[in-house]
Every structure is written in structure tokens, then in C-alpha cells.
Structure 1
Amino acid sequence: METQKLIIHVILLLCIPCSSSFTPIDNYLLSCGSQNNASLFNRIFTGDSTNQVSSFLSADKSISLTNQNPPPDLPILYHTARVFPSTGSFRFNVRKHGTHLVRFHFSPFKAQGFDLKAANFSVLVDGNLVLRNFKPSNGVLLKEFILKIESNLLEIVFRPEGNSGFGFVNAMEVFTAPVDFVIDYGARLVGPFGVVEYKNLSSQVLETVHRINVGGVKVTPFNDTLWRTWIPDEEFLVFKDAAKPARSNQTPNFQKGGATREIAPDSVYMTAQEMDKDHAVIGSKFNITWDFPVAPGGVRHLVRLHFCDIVSPVLNLLYFDVYINGYSAYKDLDLSSLTVHVLASPVYVDFVADSNDSGVIRISVGPSELSGSRGMNAILNGAEIMQLVNVVDSRVVPGKKRLWILVGSITGGVVVLLLVMSAFVLALKCRKKKKKKKPKQRTLESVGWTPLRVFGGSSLSRMSEGTAFPSPGSYGYFGLRIPFADIQSATNNFDRSLIIGSGGFGMVYKGVLKDNVKAAVKRGMPGSRQGLPEFQTEITILSKIRHRHLVSLVGYCEENSEMILVYEYVEKGPLKKHLYGSAVHAPLSWKQRLEICIGAARGLHYLHTGFAQGIIHRDIKSTNILLDENYVAKVADFGLSRSGPCLNETHVSTGVKGSFGYLDPEYFRRQQLTDKSDVYSFGVVLFEVLCARPAVDPQLDREQVNLAEWALEWQKKGMLEDIIDPHLVGKIKQSSLKKFGETAEKCLAEYGVDRPTMGTVLWNLEYALQLHESDQEDEEPYDDSSAQETVNVTTTITPGSPSSNMRREENNDNGYSDISASEVFSQLMKSEGR
């Protein structure tokens, strides 16, 4: 049945007519070395030896070659070729300036003493060296370039290389591209620095490397308005089980401002790959990933991705994230917002990215944090990858261009010389200042990673490539390394049935180590750089801290291009699963919820105050608070964490990172990070615990979508009890609810200076628990202004930790903060204690 559907779909695609709406103003199609015309995909290529076009040739010594024994299935266009024993060129009159497509057809054969497979030549288009020392292989090869032509004459030069080299070409196409085919604004440059706008894209020379019809069949030039070939994506899929094809029989809704048929044909937008949730653990998140081979070594490419929502029943249901080379390229992509709010309306997004050393560009799509349980999905309809060429060869640059290049070179040389001299003077000044000033303490993101190489890092280790961190303890990180073979054994070779979760870093498996200790094994995508900084940060932070309310790191592995973190297994999983979205877990009581919030607050308070600069978590949310078998809260996932400001600083200036719905708005606006950013996120968690709903739910009415804004409105009206979890109705003492609501409200203050410290938050939550458990409904007024100093007695410092100036608890060998908070805070909350 599935085969019949596929056959019908292929027939439908083949029956889609090629639109004739686009007619290029400049349109040169040459059958090279021929006196006759040749047809290919219903297009007529004129023989370049005819009187009609022979004037295009500017070389007298080129040779027309004919294959006397062509293969029976080889199109006539490839039966002839023009050979250049010496430099020769074609010249075309350009009637319309702007972006043009230039295509070269190569199919080597033997004739008249020439073996075209032995050719060695370079090709220049408008002075740009697009092919260097080119040696065509067997079969038909098409080379396509996209570039802007701003003169009335376009010259294409074929230049033999080496003593016995010669050039050849079987056919050529030169035609005007559609308006706005490549635009100068909106492209997103993606890399370790984040995402920034890439400008002046149309001035680049682009060479097409891949053109992919994702989820569909091959599309030939006959069914493309720009006569392009789109190939299926199956061979590029990294994990085929992660994707399943999606198809539509409806013609795409092309809208003004979106993609056009010239950007990609109907058939590309009528097919896609979507997440195959049928083969995944229910509720798990994962990415669909493609690897495309390209030129290695950091070569810059344009990545054009095509989207058309053919999988959603309604608008604003599909939210997903896009990654390129493991870096976030587009977060929370909502196709509805990019179109005129019509389903199945095609759009495309341009990205610019560099290839890695192994010559791969990796593209991934996966569900967004905004995805509801019903709408968790991600799609991709098409992909194009084009290398940025733009190499100018001075030997063929016209005189005026050459003059400007010379002037530019001289000017540039003078500027560089001045810069070098300035740098030298500044260096001398800085050296003098350094002798007087004590160097600043290095932060988590400011130094290079070296410990693993010193302490036995493998030759395949990528730890030295990213940001580096403070030096390890006396044993380095070597004692935490776990062999890859042991991790394979612990997870039954990463058995999919053992998957217990997933995230931006990768899948999480339940495993059993050699000593029968249960562990959570978080595996980054093999071979990917995605998550490398997070991987390093987790090891650095968790290797030096131990606290009852922080998840412990058991070890890590970085063999075989793997990035694997092994944690203590926290039996009951994320807090989020116990609040909503699962019928498996019984509803938490109010006392349990308060104790969980108190535990998480203790862990955060320790992070903020347990070190000289403190540590800011940066990604506090209900999925990063785990519960053990006794419902003890443990803060997890320190991949985005970083050290706090120095003593003489008020904040850390850094790029914005975090999760939508939990992100501190002041941090987002000013990009200035403080521990109060964690306090804001924790305030969202408090309301999430109380109301048992997500921080963001796009399926609700507009005023209810953002939990923090919605709950604050009810809190300020004094009607918080109207929006609490129905399971808690009538089960919370009014005084306890009031104190809890006030605490959450203070955490969500617009400005960080108005928010309490985590110590004060912890004090207030303990007080809310005391009120809930007390016999009296109301307690006398109290003053919490001194809570910060008092709460420090619960801070525990691990033996061997750098923070030796902090107080340690006596007779506590395991390094955990096990003091009962109720023992401490009961003294504060009663009048006799004060």
C-alpha cells in the first residue's frame, strides 16, 4: 500500500508542468564545438560554430571536437566539445545588470588525439577564478555559479594549466536570475560567536554544491523554472530512523513576500522530512540531522533552507529549532510568522556557515521549547548549499579594475602599517601597566582549555578547541574519565529502549556501571561540535562541587570524537513531569512542592555564594530540577553556567543564553548577567509549581501564553488562588499561599536590583512551609532583611574546593549540606528565637 502511494506521488510530481512565467532577459545557451543545435529538457542550445553565435568566441586557436562513438543514452549536447589548447574566451553582451546564473557542462571523451579526461585548466568568469586546475572526471558534470554582473560585457576565460594542459567545455548557459534571487539583507551568519547578520551577499560569487529535495524524489530541470536538478536527501541523513517523509498533494500557497517558484519548484515544497515520533520514546525530543560533504577547512558557504508547513492542521502549532554545524542557527522558528498566516505557504531562510576540518556541513532541525505536547515536530522541505568563491585573478582584470585594486592594495598596506605601529605602542604601555597592576582572576569563559591534554587527553580530544576553564585539582580531570567501552557496556551499546530523555546536547540513557551503580549517560551527537562549550563547562563546574541539591558528575568520555557526560541517576526525573503532562505520576502535595522548591533554592544559593565569584546557572527551569527517590530536588544541567562578576564588578557582559519563558528580561535587553537572572528564572519555576502549567503555552489565549506575566496579574489582584493547580484547591493555608505568591512576585521584579537574593528567597520559602505546617493560621509580622546572613550557615564547601575561605560544617565528611533547614529557620520564625 505504501509503495502504491509512493508511485502515485511520483506520477503527480512528474505531471507538474514547468512554469513558463520566468523568461530571462539575457539567455545564452551554447552547444560548444557544434555547428548544429541540440535539445536538452526542451531547451534549445545553439551550436557555437554557427554564424549566429561564432562572434562570441575570441580565440582563433580553439578546436571543435566530435565524439564519433558516443554512448547510446548520452544526450546529443555532450557529443561535441570546444577544446582550448591555449587561453581562449567567450564574450557575451549583457542587457540587464544584476545576478546571473552561469553553468558549464562537462562530459569528457576521446577524439582527434585528445583525451578530455587529461584536461587541466582554470575558468574565470568576469575576472573571478571559479575553477582552478580543474580536471573533469568520467560522466556528465554540471558546474553552476551565481554572481552579479555590473558591466555590459561578460567574459568567460578558459586557461590551460601546466605544460601539456588544455581546456574544454561541452555546453554553456548564461542567463539572468530572477529579481531578488540573492538579496543583501536577512542572511544569518552562524558560528561559535552566535548569530549575526551577513551583509552584501549578492556581491559574492556562489558555486552550487548541493541542491536537495528533502523527503521527495529527484526533480529534473524539466520541472524547475530555472532548469535545476534537485536530488533526494536519503543518502545524507545521519539517523534515518529519526525522520519520516511527509507529502502533500495540494499546490503550495505561494504568497507575496515569501518564496516563489523561481526560488524552488512546487514539488520541493510539497515534500518534507518530519520527526518520526512513531519510533521514539513517547515525549522524547530529538533532531533530524543531515551531513553534506563540502570543501574542508573552514570554507564559507551559503546554506539556503526551504520550509513549507504541510504537516500541521492549524497555524501557530509548529515551533522548531534549526542548527548548523551544531550551533543554534534559528531558535523557536515559527513558519506562520514568516508568511501571511496561511498554511503550506513556502518560505526560505539564508544562513552563512563555515565547513569543518573534515569537510562537512551538518544541518539539524528539532522541536522547540515552545512546542506543546501535541505540536512537537520539526520539518525541512529543501536545502541548497553554495560555496562562496569570489576569487579575483589579476591576470584578466580589466585596466580600470586593476587600477582600483592597486590603489586599494597601497591604501590597505598603509593602514595595516599604521595599525601595527599603534599596536606596538599600546603593547609597550600595557606592559608597563601590568608591572604595576595585579592580573585579574580568569573567568570560566576567558582562558584556554588545557588540563585534559596535560592529564592524558586523547589525540582525538576536542577539549582544547573551545573555551577553557580554571585549572583542575591535584588529580586533574583524569580520575573522572570513563572508557568508551565501559559506557557502551553500561548502556547496552546505547539501546534506544534505555533513553530517558533528550535535549539540545543529545540523548540521555539510563545505564548501569561496572560497580552496579545506576547512572544517567548524556551523549552528545557523535562527531558534532554542538554542545562543546557546554560539555567543557559541565565537567569544570561539577568536578569541583558536591552538594545534596546539585546533581553529581560521575565522569565523562571524549574518545572516538564522542562527548559523553555521566551523572548520578536521579530516580524520579524532572520536576516538570510531576507537575503536568504525565498521567503516570501522582499529583504532588503542597508540602512536597514547597520542599522541592526549598531544595532547589539551597542548591542555587550554594552556587551563588560558595565561591569567590559565585556561579550563575543561566538555565533554571523545571526540566533542570530533578527529583530523587525521596523527592529531594537536585539542580542539573550546568552547560550554560559561568562565573559571576569579580568583587569590583556589578555584572558579567555576555551573550544572552537561556530558555524561552524563563529568561530574565533585563538580561535579555542589556546582555548584562548577574545572579539575579537566576532569581528571575526561579520565580517562573515557583509559579509553574503553583499553577502546574508550562512557562509558555502558545495554545492558550494570548493573555495566558506567558505564565510569568499572567500569574503576576492575578497575584497583584490578590486572586492567586483562582489559578492554582486544581489538585491544590482547598489544601493550602492562606498565609502560606500569600507568602509563596509574594516571594514569586519579588523574584519576577523587572529590574534585578529589586529582586531578592537566593538566600532571601530560601528564607521566605522556609517560612511559607512553616506557615503551612503550623497550628495557627496567622503568625506575627516578621522582618526578613537579615535572612541573607543567617542562611549562610547552610553553605557547604567540598574538601579540596578552591573556596577555602568559606565556612564548612563540622562532622560532615560527605561534603553535603545536610543541616535541616527547619532546625535553622524555626529559630528565626518564632519570637522567642529572635
Structure 2
Amino acid sequence: MAAISPEHRRQDAAKGIKLVPILSRFNSVKMSRKRLVGMFEYPSLEAATEKFSESNMLGVGGFGRVYKAAFDAGVTAAVKRLDGGGPDCEKEFENELDLLGRIRHPNIVSLLGFCIHEGNHYIVYELMEKGSLETQLHGSSHGSTLSWHIRMKIALDTARGLEYLHEHCSPPVIHRDLKSSNILLDSDFNAKIADFGLAVSSGSVNKGSVKLSGTLGYVAPEYLLDAAMSISGKLTEKSDVYAFGVVLLELLMGRKPVEKMSPSQCQSIVTWAMPQLTDRSKLPSIVDPVIKDTMDPKHLYQVAAVAVLCVQAEPSYRPLITDVLHSLVPLVPTELGGTLRAGEPPSPNLRNSPC
């Protein structure tokens, strides 16, 4: 990396940003893998978010809120303000800086910097203009901006990001909280996985127990069962595959992962949809009305088959994310990152398809 001139350092400092290595106390980051990230001065974050005004709030997560920030020279970003300051908050902050400081991939959100001010923690990311997939699907537009092909592109982008974590990171990274609110979309609906506060490496999982974390509706059943029995949860890459399958069902049906049937009863999308996903005569009736009858039926059956395999109760029956990725590529038009050409039928790649 080229040296940063004193003049550039002064200019960055004047803007409230300076480049520093990831802090050495994040001991899981090896010295050779440290990268320079921006350390933002608190006044610059406060000014860019208009004192963290409600009008600039983009979303609310488990540990804090995310705000849109507009810096000088038209530079925009997203700022997560972590609330609480307890050990869990501190751990999420360190974990996210650790992992995102090392990861570079087109389908994983980019870390721009961080700030620590009066015991509060802030993380600065690239801004994703279209917000989260959850907002697009379940917000006021109810998925109206998401065509069938755009939905398949989002699924493919997400699979690519997961494949990078599972197959190309050393050791492999398990996201542990994949869900539609943690899949962010840019102005062209390119999807990127965000929020790595709960992510773990497979090496750390093997060294000891990992307490149950995640979001209801996306957590793999074997992980929930073991936690209920007060034993170490069986957390593997297949746990992320299960969550991906739930997201795929959301894209397909436009329904939330868990829906209230009555004040005291809820039902998961997996439980409700499974009997219909495997019945070709019933499958079209559960598709999101926004996209119904807009796709080749063969494509619909193929996506349903992928989703069914991903959400199998037995982890060994679920495919690797690489297999999922290869099955989705032929369903996405070439101009959106896949290999589908006009008039070309899909080519199934997953074995044991139940559809």
C-alpha cells in the first residue's frame, strides 16, 4: 500500500476521518491481515447524521439503530450506533470490525470505519440506497418494485456472498443471523450481506459451545432443539443454508418468516408452505401475487425445489451453498449476473429435487 502523505492526513483529519489499523485489542485479527480503516471523529458523525435525527434513521437492529450520514463533498454512508455498552454490545462491535476488516467481496457490505465516543460505539458502512430486502418485501411497497428476475438476482447475490464466507474464508465464517433485514440492496438492486456482529468462524465453533443467537423463523431447528435441551447448539454452515432457504421462501411468497395466526399462536413460513411447495398443483397458489404468472413455471418449480432442500429439518439433507449457487445461476438473466438467455429453459443442478 502506498504511503499516505502528511498533507492527505491533514485533509482527512480536517474532515473528521483518519486512517488507522484495526485496533490491536481485536486479537483475532492477525497482524499480517490488518487493514487501514477510517477512524471517524464523533463531531463529524453527529453533523453528518444531523445529530442522529429520526428523519435519518434507516433501521433498527438487535443492538442499535442505523442512520444515513451525509458528509462533505457529497459522500454518503450508513452509521450504526450500538446501544447499551455492555459486554454483548462490545463483543458485537469487535466482532464486526474484526470480520469486515478482513472481508472484501461484491456481495458483502463494505466497512468504511468506526468511532468510539464516551463509551458508545459506532460503525460506518457503505450506504445501500434501496435499504433492506425486508423493507422492500414487507414495507409499504409490499414487493411491488421486485420483479421475478430481480428477486432471483437477489437470491443469487446472497448465495454468492454466503459461498465466499463458507468456501473462501479461512477459517470458514458462519454468519449466524442471515435474514431479509440483513440483506441490503443498492440502487441497482445488487444485494450484499450485512451485520456480522453474531458471525463466528468454524474454528471457534469447534473449540467450544456457542450460545443460541439468531432471529426466530430463520434459526435452524437442530440449533433450537439443542438450545432447548441446554446442550451445545449444533452450529455449522448448514445453519446458514437453512436461513437462506427461509429468505428464498420470502422472495417466492412475499410472506414474513413467522406470522401470527392468533394472539397466542404463530406459524412459521416453513411449516405452512412445505406441503404446498412439493405439490405442483398447489405451488402457483402460494406465490406472491406481485409476481404470480410472470415466470416460466419450470423456473418456479426449480426455485421451490431449492428452497425445500435448504429448509430440510435434517442438516445433512441440505445442500452446500455452492450447490445452491450453481442451481440459481441458470435462472437469472445474463444482464443480471446469471446465465439465462431469452427463451432458454433452466437446467436443474440440485440432486434429489422433491418437485
TM-score range for the pair, normalised by the shorter chain length: 0.7 to 0.9
Q: CA deviation at 1:698?
A: 1.2
Is 2:241 aligned against 1:658? no
Is 2:192 aligned against 1:629? no
Q: CA deviation at 1:559?
A: 2.4
Q: CA deviation at 1:528?
A: 4.9
- Which structure is richer in relative contact order (CA contacts within 8 A, separation 6 or more)? 2
In structure 2, which of residues 264, 267, 273 is the aligned counterpart of residue 705 of structure 1? Answer: 267
Q: CA deviation at 1:773?
A: 4.9
In structure 2, which of residues 254, 260, 263 is the aligned counterpart of residue 692 of structure 1? Answer: 254
Classify the secondary structure of the residue corresponding to 1:710. Answer: helix
Do 1:644 and 1:652's aligned partners in 2 also have CA atoms closer than 8 Å?
Answer: no
Residues 246-268 of structure 1: CA distance to partner in whole angstroms, max 9, x if unpaired? Answer: xxxxxxxxxxxxxxxxxxxxxxx
Q: CA deviation at 1:527?
A: 4.8
Is 2:242 aligned against 1:680? yes
CA separation of 1:546 and 1:534: change in aligned 2, threshold 3 A:
same
Do 2:184 and 2:192's aligned partners in 1 also have CA atoms closer than 8 Å?
Answer: yes
Q: CA deviation at 1:668?
A: 2.1
Is 2:176 aligned against 1:618? yes
Classify the secondary structure of the residue corresponding to 2:68. Answer: strand
CA separation of 1:593 and 1:782: change in aligned 2, threshold 3 A:
closer
Aligned equivalents of 1:526, 1:668: Cα separation in 2: 26
Tell me what 2:92 maps to: 534
Aligned equivalents of 1:693, 1:503: Cα separation in 2: 20
In structure 2, which of residues 199, 222, 237 is the aligned counterpart of residue 641 of structure 1? Answer: 199
In structure 2, which of residues 304, 317, 321 is the aligned counterpart of residue 758 of structure 1? Answer: 321
Unaligned runs of 5+ residues in structure 1 are 1-449, 455-463, 786-834
CA separation of 1:472 and 1:668: change in aligned 2, threshold 3 A:
farther
Do 1:736 and 1:769's aligned partners in 2 also have CA atoms closer than 8 Å?
Answer: no
Classify the secondary structure of the residue corresponding to 1:480. Answer: strand
Tell me what 1:581 maps to: 139
Do 2:176 and 2:240's aligned partners in 1 also have CA atoms closer than 8 Å?
Answer: yes
In structure 1, which of residues 539, 543, 554 is the aligned counterpart of residue 112 of structure 2? Answer: 554
Aligned equivalents of 2:235, 2:203: Cα separation in 1: 8
Aligned equivalents of 1:651, 1:709: Cα separation in 2: 33
Write the mapping of 1:233-252 to structure 2, written as runs, cut at 5 A.
none
Q: CA deviation at 1:727?
A: 1.3
Q: CA deviation at 1:645?
A: 3.7
More strand by share: 1
Classify the secondary structure of the residue corresponding to 1:686. Answer: helix
Classify the secondary structure of the residue corresponding to 2:259. Answer: coil
Is 2:237 aligned against 1:669? no
Do 1:652 and 1:674's aligned partners in 2 also have CA atoms closer than 8 Å?
Answer: no
Q: CA deviation at 1:712?
A: 1.1
Residues 450-500 of structure 1: CA distance to partner in whole angstroms, max 9, x if unpaired? Answer: 963x5xxxxxxxxx6xx85233546566x4321112211211222222111
In structure 1, which of residues 706, 713, 723 is the aligned counterpart of residue 286 of structure 2? Answer: 723
Classify the secondary structure of the residue corresponding to 2:114. Answer: strand
Write the mapping of 1:211-222 to structure 2, written as runs, cut at 5 A.
none
CA RMSD, aligned part only? 2.7
Do 2:157 and 2:191's aligned partners in 1 also have CA atoms closer than 8 Å?
Answer: yes
Q: CA deviation at 1:584?
A: 7.9
Is 2:307 aligned against 1:744? yes
Aligned equivalents of 1:723, 1:684: Cα separation in 2: 15
Q: CA deviation at 1:653?
A: 3.5
Classify the secondary structure of the residue corresponding to 1:519. Answer: strand
Do 1:579 and 1:689's aligned partners in 2 also have CA atoms closer than 8 Å?
Answer: yes
Tell me what 1:489 maps to: 47
Classify the secondary structure of the residue corresponding to 1:613. Answer: coil
Residues 196-254 of structure 1: CA distance to partner in whole angstroms, max 9, x if unpaired? Answer: xxxxxxxxxxxxxxxxxxxxxxxxxxxxxxxxxxxxxxxxxxxxxxxxxxxxxxxxxxx
Is 2:273 aligned against 1:714? no
Is 2:261 aligned against 1:732? no
Classify the secondary structure of the residue corresponding to 2:65. Answer: strand
Classify the secondary structure of the residue corresponding to 2:103. Answer: coil
CA separation of 1:669 and 1:580: change in aligned 2, threshold 3 A:
same
Do 1:598 and 1:762's aligned partners in 2 also have CA atoms closer than 8 Å?
Answer: yes
Tell me what 2:30 maps to: 471
Amino acid at match of 1:522: K
CA separation of 1:527 and 1:729: change in aligned 2, threshold 3 A:
closer
Aligned equivalents of 1:701, 1:762: Cα separation in 2: 38
Do 2:22 and 2:97's aligned partners in 1 also have CA atoms closer than 8 Å?
Answer: no
Write the mapping of 1:97-108 to structure 2, written as runs, cut at 5 A.
none
Write the mapping of 1:283-302 to structure 2, written as runs, cut at 5 A.
none
Tell me what 1:280 maps to: none
Residues 405-436 of structure 1: CA distance to partner in whole angstroms, max 9, x if unpaired? Answer: xxxxxxxxxxxxxxxxxxxxxxxxxxxxxxxx
Do 1:650 and 1:674's aligned partners in 2 also have CA atoms closer than 8 Å?
Answer: no
Aligned equivalents of 2:307, 2:331: Cα separation in 1: 12
Amino acid at match of 2:245: G
CA separation of 1:579 and 1:746: change in aligned 2, threshold 3 A:
same
Q: CA deviation at 1:588?
A: 1.1
Aligned equivalents of 1:451, 1:739: Cα separation in 2: 44
In structure 2, which of residues 62, 73, 82 is the aligned counterpart of residue 504 of structure 1? Answer: 62
How many residues are treated as equivalent by the alignment? 319
User: Normalising to structure 2: TM-score of the pair?
Assistant: 0.82
Do 2:327 and 2:348's aligned partners in 1 also have CA atoms closer than 8 Å?
Answer: no
Amino acid at match of 1:775: G
CA separation of 1:493 and 1:643: change in aligned 2, threshold 3 A:
same
Tell me what 2:343 maps to: 775
Aligned equivalents of 2:270, 2:130: Cα separation in 1: 26
Amino acid at match of 1:495: S
Aligned equivalents of 2:290, 2:93: Cα separation in 1: 39
CA separation of 1:703 and 1:509: change in aligned 2, threshold 3 A:
closer
Tell me what 1:594 maps to: 152
Unaligned runs of 5+ residues in structure 2 are 1-20, 227-232, 334-338
User: Normalising to structure 1: TM-score of the pair?
Assistant: 0.36
* Higher CA-based Rg: 1
Residues 41-91 of structure 1: CA distance to partner in whole angstroms, max 9, x if unpaired? Answer: xxxxxxxxxxxxxxxxxxxxxxxxxxxxxxxxxxxxxxxxxxxxxxxxxxx
